[in-house]
Structure 1
C-alpha cells in the first residue's frame, strides 16, 4: 500500500479543488462576509506565506483569542500548514489563567479580535513570549498601548495567494493546542497532531456519527476556542459543507434567525445554548425545518429538552460525549436498526444516553472490582484510548494522574447497558455518597429539568452527620412560575427511591457555570454552604 501522511492541508486543498464555489458565511459584528472556498484558500495561502516571512518556526505556537469567523478558520489551516501550532485560547477564562496558558504554551504571536483586545492589553506586560499582536477587524486598527500590533488584513496583504504549502510536514507533527477549562488548579494543555485531527474529522463524517457531508450547512455555536469547535470546522471544510460562522456575542434571536435564513442543516452546542434557543423559538416565529441534527455535548442533555426538539419542532437531537483530551468526539447516541421500531419513552431513554463509541475509539468501564457488567446498574470510571485520544498533558507533571497504562482515565462515572451504550451518571468528584450508596446528581438534574416549571437545575452534596452526604437541588424557574418545593419533590418521587430525594430545594436566579457552559459545582457548593450558614447565623 502507498504511504501518505495525513495532513490538515489536504483537507483545505480538497475544498479548494472540488468545492471552490461553496461558501463560508461569516458574521464579524455588523458585517456578514460570504466567501467561497476558493477565496478562503487564497487568503489562507496569503496568511501562511506571511507567517513564514514573519519567522514563525516549525513547532512554534500562535495563540488565538477570537470568535467564530472566517479569519479564525484561516488560522486553523494556515498555522499547521507551515508546521506551526494553532493554540485556541478560551476568552472566558480568568485573566490569571489566560496569562498562564499563553506563557506555558510559549505563544510567539497572538491573533485577537478587536473587542477582545482590552483583555489582552490588561495582561500584556505579564506575557513573556509574545512578540506581536495581530488584530482581526473590519475597521481601522483600534488605539492600543501595545507596541508591536498590526491589522490582520494589512499584515497578510503582502503574502502570496499562490503560496505552495511546505512539503516537510509530517502527520505526527503538532498542529493544534487547547487547554482544559480548569475548575481547580491551572488548566492543562492538550496537543493535537495532523494525524489525530484528520482521523477525528473522518469520524465526524461517518454515517453513524455526525454524518457531515457536502450537502450540509453547518452552524457551530460551540466556540472555535473550545476544543476547535469540536473539530467541526475541519470536517466541514474537508467535506465541502457550507459553513455559517455566527461571530461575536450573538443572541438567541440572532441564532434562530441565522438557522432560518441560511437553512442550516446541522448545528452544535452545549445544553444551556439549546435551552435558550427553545425559549426563543417558543416566543418568536421561526422556521427551523431545515435542521436535520442538533448536536449536543459538554454535559448531559435533559430528556425533556430532547423531547421538545423532536416532538414540538420535529428536529432530530444528537447527543454526543467528549472532552478536551479526546479531540473531543468519543460517543454519539443513535438508535440501532433493531431499536427503530421503539416508540415514545423507550426511544427517548436511549437518545438521552451518551451513546456508543464511534469507530476508532476503544472504551473500558472500570469499577472497584474490575470491568463493570453491562447491566446498566453497576457504575465505573470510563477509560478510553484511540488515535485522537491524548496520551499526556503538555509539559505537565499531572499527566500520570490521568494517563495510565495506555488509557485515558476520564474521571467520568458511567453505566453500560447490554447494547454497549454508555450513560454518564456523574463526575467522580460529584457523585453523592449517602449511607454507603451512590446517588447520581446528573439523573436528578435531568428529571428536575423535565418539569414544566424548571429552566435549569443542578444538584450538589452537602455534608450530613448521619449519612455522610445528602443531595440538595438548586433550581432556576421559568419566568412567572411560582416556587413550589413540594411539587418538585413529588415529581422526583415518581422516578427515584425515597433515599435519593434531595433534602432541600433552593430556588436561585442563576446557577454558576464554567467558561464553556457547564454547571460549576465547586462554586455552587460554596454558595449553598454560605446560604445555610447565613440561616444558622
Structure 2
C-alpha cells in the first residue's frame, strides 16, 4: 500500500492476480487502480456485512459472508512440493519491482529454519507481535514460524505509534516482537514520557536497517530486554543472519559484547555466507576485508519471477545481495555499504536515482544528486542537491512541490 499506484498496477498485472483481498483502509486505493488491472476477477473485502462499504469495486464480496456460505470440507495438499506458494515483490534501484516466487518446499524449509532456538526459538508459551508487515517477506517468516510452533500471534492494525504498540504488548501479554528501528524508537519515547514498564516483553527482533547501539542499550539497560538484530532480504525468504552471541562472547563484559551486537550477525543452519570481490574471488573472513556479500541455501531465490533480470546466481550457486560487508573470525557479518545506490528509511528502500531523474526534469535544474542523511527517527532521509541552470534563482518549495505526487 505504500507504493505508487503505477507500481501497484504493474505488480497486480505482472503477477496475473485473479482475486484480491483488501482491508477496509485500502478500498479507496483499490477503487482507483482496479480499472487498470484486467486479470482481477473478484475482490474480497476483509469485513462483515454490518461494515461492508458501498463500493464501486466490481464483484466485491464480503469476507465473513463468504465464510458463512462455504462448506466445512476442504481438500488440502495433493500437489508437488515445488508448487508456487507465495509471491513477494522487491524494489531495486531502477525499473519495476521484481517478483520473488516462494515454493511450498522453500517456505516449509524456511519455517523449519525459523524454529531453531537461535532464530525465533518460538514455543507454544510464546506470544509474538510481528509489527513488521506481512508484505515484507511474510513478516520475516513469523507468519509461518509462529503458528508452526503453536505460538499466539498478535496482529497490529493501522496504528504503529508508541502508545498503540505499548497497549498491544501489555494487554495481549506479548513476550517477543519484531519491527524496524523506527517503531522501537517511537515505543521507547512513549514509555519514557509516561514512566511505564514492560511486564511481559523479553526479546525484540530488530531489522530492516542497521540497529544503533543506543537502541540496544535502551532496551537492555532500561528494561532488561534482549535485542536480537537480524538481516535478510525478500530474496532470502527473508532470514539471513541474526546477532546471537556464542558463549565465548557472552562471557565478556556487556560493553565489550557491543562490538558484535551492532553487527548483523551469523547465519542459522541452512544459510551460507561468503564474500567475493568483483572478479568472483573469495575474500578472507577477518573482520577487516570488504567484499560483495553472497548468500546461498535452500531458501534463497534462484531467479526472479518470469526471468526478470536474467541469471542471478554465480557459478557456485551464490546470490549477490548487492551489499558490501565484512565477516569476522566468529562468523559475524557486518554490512558496511550498499552496492545499490539506495537510501534506507524506516525500513523502506528509497531510490536516489529515481528522485534525481524526476528532479532534473524541472525546467530550472541543470544537475541533481540525492544523498542519504542520518535521521534520528527514520535512520536515513534523502537530501536533494540541485545545481540550477545559469540565470535561474532558487525557490526551495518550488522544487519540493515538483516532486509531489511523483514519488511514493
Q: TM-score range by the shorter chain?
A: 0.7 to 0.9
In structure 1, runs of 5+ residues without a counterpart are 1-90, 432-440, 446-457, 462-469, 478-509, 512-517
SS at match of 1:253: helix
Q: Which residue of 1 aligns with 2:226?
A: 316
Query: Of 312, 332, 337, which residue of structure 1 is paired with 2:242?
Result: 332
After TM superposition, give the deviation of residue 404 of structure 1 in Å: 2.8
Structure 1 residues 530 and 119, CA gap change in structure 2 (3 angstroms): farther
Deviation by residue 1:101-149 (Cα, 9 ceiling, x = unmatched) = 0000000101001110100000111002000111001443211112211
- 1:359 corresponds to: 269
Aligned 8 A contact 2:372 2:380 in 1? no
SS at match of 1:291: coil
Q: 1:116 aligns with which of 19, 26, 42?
A: 26
Aligned to 1:393: 304
- The answer on whether the counterparts of 1:378 and 1:415 sit within 8 Å (CA) in structure 2 is yes
Contact residue 188 and residue 396 of structure 1 kept, 8 A = no
- What's the CA shift string for 1:188-211, capped at 9, x where partnerless? 001111111111111111112221
Q: Does 1:428 align with 2:339?
A: yes
Partner in structure 1 of residue 193 of structure 2: 283
Q: Tell me the SS of whatever aligns to 1:355.
A: coil
- Indicate the residue corresponding to 1:348 in structure 2: 258
State which of 173, 179, 183 in structure 1 corresponds to 2:83. 173
The residue correspondences of 1:13-92 to structure 2 (distance < 5 A) are: 91-92=1-2
Partner of 1:474: 373
Q: Distance in 2 between matches of 1:421 and 1:239?
A: 27
The 3-state SS of whatever aligns with 2:43 is: strand
In structure 2, C-alpha distance between the alignment counterparts of 1:227 and 1:473, rounded to whole Å: 25
Q: Runs (4+) of structure 1 moved beyond 4 Å?
A: 470-473, 533-536
Contact 1:307 1:348 in 2 (8 A): no
Q: Deviations over 1:257-312 (max 9, x none)?
A: 11122221110011111111121111124332422211011111111111111111
Aligned partners of 1:111 and 1:158: how far apart in 2?
17
User: For residues 387 and 78 of structure 2, what CA distance do their matches in structure 1 show?
Assistant: 58
Q: Within the alignment, does 1:215 sit opposite 2:125 as a pair?
A: yes
User: Take 2:222 and 2:387, find their aligned partners in 1: how far apart are those partners?
Assistant: 40
Give the distance between the partners of 2:385 and 2:254, measured in 1 at CA: 37
Query: Which of 383, 386, 394 is the aligned partner of 2:294?
Result: 383
Q: What residue in structure 2 maps to residue 407 of structure 1? A: 318
Shift of 1:313: 1.5
- 1:230 to 2:140 alignment: yes
Cα deviation digits, residues 488-531 of structure 1 (max 9, x gap): xxxxxxxxxxxxxxxxxxxxxx86xxxxxx746xxx25x14479
Say which SS state the counterpart of residue 305 (structure 2) adopts. Answer: coil
Q: From 239, 263, 269, give the equivalent of 2:149.
A: 239
Counterpart secondary structure, 1:228:
helix
Aligned length: 370
Partner of 2:182 in structure 1?
Answer: 272
Match of 2:98?
188
**Distance in 2 (alpha carbons) for counterparts of 1:317 and 1:238:** 23
Q: Counterpart in 1 of 2:362?
A: none
SS in 1 for 2:304: coil
| Structure-2 residue corresponding to 1:160 | 71
Contact 2:160–2:183, Cα closer than 8 Å, also in 1: no
SS of the aligned residue for 1:199 comes to helix
Distance 1:281 1:193 in 2: 41
Q: Residue 174 of structure 1 contacts residue 191 of structure 1 at CA under 8 Å; is this kept in 2? A: yes
CA contact (8 A) 2:263 2:334 kept: yes
Preserved contact between residue 289 and residue 314 of structure 1 (Cα < 8 Å): no
Root-mean-square deviation (CA, aligned residues, Å) is 2.8
Distance 1:292 1:257 in 2: 16
Partner SS for 1:283: helix
Q: C-alpha distance in 2, partners of 1:530/1:255?
A: 43
For 1:278 and 1:183, locate their aligned partners in 2 and report how far apart those are by CA, in whole Å: 32
For 1:146, which of 57, 67, 71 is the aligned residue?
Answer: 57
Taking the aligned partners of 1:126 and 1:530, their CA distance within structure 2 comes to: 38
Partners in 2 of 1:535 and 1:129 — Cα distance? 45
* TM-score, normalised by the number of residues in structure 1: 0.65
Supply the distance in 2 between the matched residues of 1:248 and 1:471 (Cα, whole angstroms). 30
Helix, strand or coil at the partner of 2:113: helix
Q: Does 1:103 align with 2:13?
A: yes
Cα distance between partner residues in 2 of 1:262 and 1:285: 20
CA contact (8 A) 2:162 2:186 kept: yes
